[in-house]
């Protein structure tokens, strides 16, 4: 029987990569208008290659970008890019359809909920506040609470301890097989792959369930309950 659900945040509760892409396109356009001599296509390609190298949350990614394409940091161009990026990001943030109703139903059923995110603490909390989701979660664990990225078991263990639940009575929901699913599988936590938000795939790392929609979590919980009752 599932007593708790652990959620990843980006691309599981919110459409982070669509937001990221739109924000980056706006930033590149603004920097080009401010004098950056690069095509939009090339600029986006270089920028996302840098994200792959340094991490999707890297704080000085635009400085690294300008050093890569210009050989220096032009602060006028940098400022235009950052302002354009933030303007789109702040207006674009929204949860996937069905998130609110699913979380409300989980609370009605008495199921504990948690966030386990590799995002920096303040960014994770800011996103939750912007989405008006903060009050739905009993526990929120971020990178600063663990100082290690998933699939390292430490973050999962912290969440289990704080929720006071056993791994076999817990469901992990995430979009990244190599981090969310692999880490949970290693501890015996039941797993659900958020295919609706996935940007990364794996042929070797398998989840117990595949979700086409956020609301499918409720079907998984019902199925787990029946499985336990008949075993």
Answer yes or no: do 171 and 107 share one domain: yes
Q: Are residues 81 and 102 in the same domain?
A: no
Same domain, 77 and 179: no
Give the number of C-alpha atoms closer than 13 A to the C-alpha of residue 183, restricted to the C-beta side. 27
User: Of 67, 92, 117, which residue constitutes the final position of a domain?
Assistant: 92
Of 49, 69, 92, at which residue does a domain stop?
92
* Same domain membership, residue 167 and residue 100: yes
Residue 53 buriedness (CB in 10 A; 0-12 / 13-18 / 19+): exposed
Please tell me whether residues 156 and 225 are part of one structural domain: yes
- Whether 117 contacts 141, CB under 8 Å: yes
Tell me how many domains the chain contains.
2
Same domain, 110 and 215: yes
Query: In terms of residue numbers, what domain contains 60?
Result: 17-92
Last residue of a domain, one of 65, 92, 119: 92
State CA 182 to chain mean position distance: 15
Tens digit of pLDDT at every position of the chain (231 positions): 999 999 999 999 998 888 899 999 999 999 999 999 999 999 999 999 999 899 888 889 999 999 999 999 999 999 999 999 999 987 778 899 999 999 999 999 999 999 999 999 998 999 999 899 999 999 999 999 999 999 999 999 999 999 999 999 999 999 999 999 999 999 999 999 999 998 788 889 999 999 999 999 999 999 998 876 665
10 contacts 16 by C-beta, under 8 angstroms: yes
What confidence tens digit (pLDDT) does each residue in 81-128 have?
A: 999 999 998 777 889 999 999 999 999 999 999 999 999 999 899 999
Q: Identify whether residues 198 and 88 lie together within a single domain.
A: no
Judge if 83 and 168 occupy the same domain: no
CA–CA gap between residue 124 and residue 117 (Å, rounded): 7
Question: The domain spanning residue 11 has which CATH number?
Answer: 3.40.50.1000
Rounded Cα gap, residues 125 and 128, in angstroms: 5
Q: How far is CA 82 from CA 63, 92, 213, in A?
A: 10, 15, 33
User: Do 215 and 101 share a structural domain?
Assistant: yes
Instruction: List, in sequence order, every residue forming a beta bridge with 172; answer none if it has no partner.
Output: 6, 191
């Amino acid at each position: 029987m599932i007593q708790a659900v652990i959620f990843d945040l980006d691309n599981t509760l919110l459409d982070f990569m669509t937001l990221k892409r739109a924000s980056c396109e706006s930033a590149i356009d603004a920097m080009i208008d401010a004098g950056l001599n690069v095509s939009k296509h090339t600029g986006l390609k270089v920028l996302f290659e840098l994200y792959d190298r340094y991490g999707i949350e890297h704080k000085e990614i635009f400085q690294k970008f300008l050093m890569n394409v210009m050989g220096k940091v032009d602060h006028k161009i940098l400022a235009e890019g950052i302002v354009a990026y933030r303007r789109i990001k702040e207006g674009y943030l929204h949860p996937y359809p069905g998130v609110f109703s699913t979380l409300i139903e989980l609370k009605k059923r008495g199921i504990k909920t948690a966030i386990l995110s590799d995002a920096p603490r303040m960014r994770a909390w800011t996103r939750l506040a912007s989405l008006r989701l903060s009050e739905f979660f009993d526990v929120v664990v971020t990178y600063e609470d663990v100082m290690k990225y998933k699939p390292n078991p430490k973050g999962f263990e912290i969440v289990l301890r704080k929720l006071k639940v056993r791994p076999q009575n817990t469901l992990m929901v995430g979009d990244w097989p190599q981090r969310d699913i692999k880490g949970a599988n290693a501890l015996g936590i039941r797993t659900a792959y958020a295919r609706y938000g996935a940007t990364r795939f794996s042929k070797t790392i398998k989840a117990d369930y595949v979700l086409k929609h956020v609301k499918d979590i409720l079907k998984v919980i019902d199925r787990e309950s029946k499985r336990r009752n008949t075993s």
